[in-house]
Amino acid sequence: MVAFPIVRVTASSIRRISYWALGVALVLLIAMGVWQAWRLQRDLETRELDRASKDLERQASLWDDALAQRSAAWLQDVEDSDTLRARQAWYRDGVSYFDSFYKWELKPGQLGATILFPTPVPWEDLPSLNEDRCLRRARARESFSAPADVPDLYAACIDGASADVALFAATEAATRFLAQGRADEAVAALDATGIPADLGLDAAAAAGLAPRRVALRRLLHAEALQMAERNKFAVGLLVELGEDIVSADGPVLQQVLDFVDYPVQEQLRQLGAPDQAVALEAPAEAAAHRLAAWKEVETELSVRAERGADCRVVHDQYGGGFLLVYSEISPGIFGAAQIDESILIAELLESSEESASLLVTDRAGRMVAGAGEPEVSADFPRMLSHLSLAYPPDHLTAVQAEFRAQFLSQLLPILVGGIIGFAALAARVTADRREQELLERQREFATRVTHELKTPLAGIRVMAENLELGAASDPGTIKAFSGRIIAEADKLTARIEEILQVARSRTPARPVPYDPAALTSDILREWAPRFADAGVRLTQDVQPVGMAVGDVPLLRDAFVCLLDNALKYRREDEPRPLVDVRLHREGNQCVLEVTDNGIGVPPAKRRAIFQVFARVEGPGRGKAGGHGLGLAFVADAVTRHRGRVDCEDGLDGGARFVVRLPLSG
């Protein structure tokens, strides 16, 4: 047979298991509650992200549809070529993001397209100009003529020449006059052509003149005015030229756009007109987009445009910032409207109530408008399909903060309940531990008291039996036995009185006024002989402290207990045992101090000794060991009088007991 060990299940082990089970259950409940609250928060955030995504899809669709309708209306206007330039100017003034119209024809079997609008402009034909007899002679004589005579060589070619030759000769002559500081002669050469000084670039192109040469003529005129210190007029000419350039169409911009940056803006700054130079920056950027779009139409779109009536979109993949919306408006005839993408996006965002919370990115995630990283986004469906509309993280911050507040509001009662549960469990465990400690003390006390009571009782019984049997017949022996019986009976009475003193009701009797100083002095007078008999020096300093109210017998017993402890726990090896008693006033309290140089109390035990049945174990604890009742009685009596008792360091390792009691006034 196999013998199995018998495990005894006790009440304490059952309690420990139940406490562990309760602790685990509390942890599981708290964890489940936190998980449920967290899952609810995540669900709410997911729903909010879905709602935000649907809002973005709806907004992107509305904007896309609006742009499609506007673009369709523009493309209808392209059919009427006669009014196309006027309509383009009208739209540029009225719609911030509109830029230009384009129109071309693509015939079957034709390799290239025919651009119908904007019409091509003439380029300067240098080979033909070099064939002009006068210009060829001027260039030939320039190298061996005096520098002062060279400008006149070209000026002589102006009269009677064709417009393009005269313009070329005038600019060549003016360039050399200005190099020699002859501003008036330079202006005279420029005016000799008969071409108006303010001739616009589009008008010049219509007249068959190269826009670049016309723009150069106007620049030279402004330089001559600057040299003549007529800066105001020079600034006016430069501003007019700059505005004329940035408002031109793509074919003209191909020849003259570079003049805006230099020399127009540079000369404006030199002439002290930086504001006018800055004012040209934004239009110059729009003109750069227009030039990029024109090159796209001229070289790519016009020959590969898809046939059909629906609007199609071409966007600049290289950062030119343009959109081209095109369609076949009639068989073989195509029209396109150019849109400035950055201005369009900015206007769309401004039209939204949530403009500050919206971002626009391209499909690669690069930021187009706004700042921040997109949290949730939606693609534009058709017209702006290369872009996405997005919310930044801070758009959802307020909502997420609200969700977190809800999470915390749900989490708080769970945590509070858990804390209360653990506190209650800890309190119960502590109470059980203290109960066990108290039971142990009680058992120890009962054992000790039983032993101390049985010893004198045994002695009394033996001596009483001897007297009964007549073992002691002489009067001296009988008297000795009787004295010992009385002494042992006194010990029993003292022990019983000590126990009853703690066991009796803890409620003080009817409080009466008393003088703490008088009570202390009276007790010290009674105990002085006992200290003298024991060889202990008793010193005292009792000061008047006023009147107090309390249970005088109860307080007397408490004070006597402190004196008894001081006497009981003196050192056997101390040649000059001392107990010092002081009474003084601190504020509205009287302070009683009983200090000795006895065996003292270890710091770790100075609070525990005021508990019932608590003792300081170990050798050398005095001639008469206590039962853990005296100091508990003192603490209870002082507490019942709304006071406090503490144990501190005494003299030479002894103890000091400090009692603080309230005074009545």
Q: Quick one: pLDDT at residue 621? A: 54
Q: Which residues contact 95 (CB under 8 A, 6 or more apart)?
A: 70
- Tokens found for residue 366: 């690069």
CATH number of 126-292: 1.25.40
| CA–CA dist 50, 52 (Å, integer) | 5
Segment holding 561, helix H or strand E:
helix 552-568
Banded model confidence at residue 294, pLDDT cuts 50, 70, 90: very high
Domains of the chain: which residue ranges? 63-106+305-391, 126-292, 508-662
pLDDT attached to residue 319: 65
**Which whole number is the average pLDDT over 171-181?**
95
CA angle centred on 413, ends 410 and 417, rounded to 5°:
145
- The model's pLDDT over 273-292, given as tens digits with 9 standing for 90+, comes to 999 999 999 999 999 999 99
* 574 confidence band (pLDDT: 50, 70, 90): confident
Question: For residue 6, is pLDDT > 60?
Answer: no
Which pLDDT value is given to residue 624?
45
Structure tokens at 93: 């003034």
10 Å Cβ neighbour count for 218?
24
Distance from C-alpha of 202 to C-alpha of 380, rounded to nearest angstrom: 38
Mean pLDDT of 127-142: 91
Q: Is 186 helix (H, G, I), strand (E, B) or coil?
A: helix
| pLDDT score recorded for residue 622 | 45
C-alpha distances (whole Å) from 379 to each of 63, 214, 382, 396, 647 are 12, 47, 9, 19, 79
Strands (E), 380-523: 387-391, 512-514
Q: Lowest-confidence range among 62-66, 109-113, 293-297, 600-604?
A: 109-113
CB-CB contact of 559 with 583 (8 Å):
no
The string of pLDDT tens digits covering residues 348-382 is 888 887 766 788 888 777 888 877 778 788 899 98
Distance CA 500, CA 371 (A): 85
Q: Which CATH class is domain 508-662?
A: alpha beta
**Residue 505: predicted pLDDT:** 43
Contact by Cβ (8 Å): 661, 590? yes
25 CB neighbour count, 10 Å cutoff: 11
Q: What single DSSP character describes residue 297?
A: I
The residues with which 102 forms a beta bridge, in sequence order, are 336
Give pLDDT, residue 110.
79
pLDDT at res. 554? 85
How many beta carbons lie within 10 A of that of residue 465, not counting itself? Answer: 10
pLDDT band at 268 (very low <50, low <70, confident <90, very high): very high
CA atoms within 13 A on the CB side of 486: 6
Q: How far is CA 509 from the centre of its chain?
A: 63
Query: Are both 126-292 and 508-662 of the same fold?
Result: no
- Stretch among 30-34, 118-122, 193-197 having the lowest mean pLDDT: 30-34
Residue 138 is predicted with a pLDDT of 92
- What sign does the dihedral 559-561-564-566 (CA atoms) show? negative
Q: What is the mean pLDDT of the chain?
A: 83
- pLDDT-derived band of residue 486, with 50, 70 and 90 as boundaries? confident
What are 367-425's pLDDT values in tens digits? Answer: 888 777 787 888 999 888 889 998 887 766 656 666 566 656 666 676 677 688 777 76
pLDDT(207) > 70:
yes
Range in 249-258, 285-294, 318-327, 521-530 with the lowest mean pLDDT: 318-327
Instruction: Say if CB 532 and CB 496 are below 8 A apart.
Output: no
- Which H or E run contains 224? helix 211-227
Percent of all residues in the chain with a pLDDT value above 90, rounded to a whole number: 42
Quick: pLDDT tens for 626-650.
Answer: 556 778 888 888 988 899 999 998 8
Please tell me the predicted confidence (pLDDT) of residue 279.
95
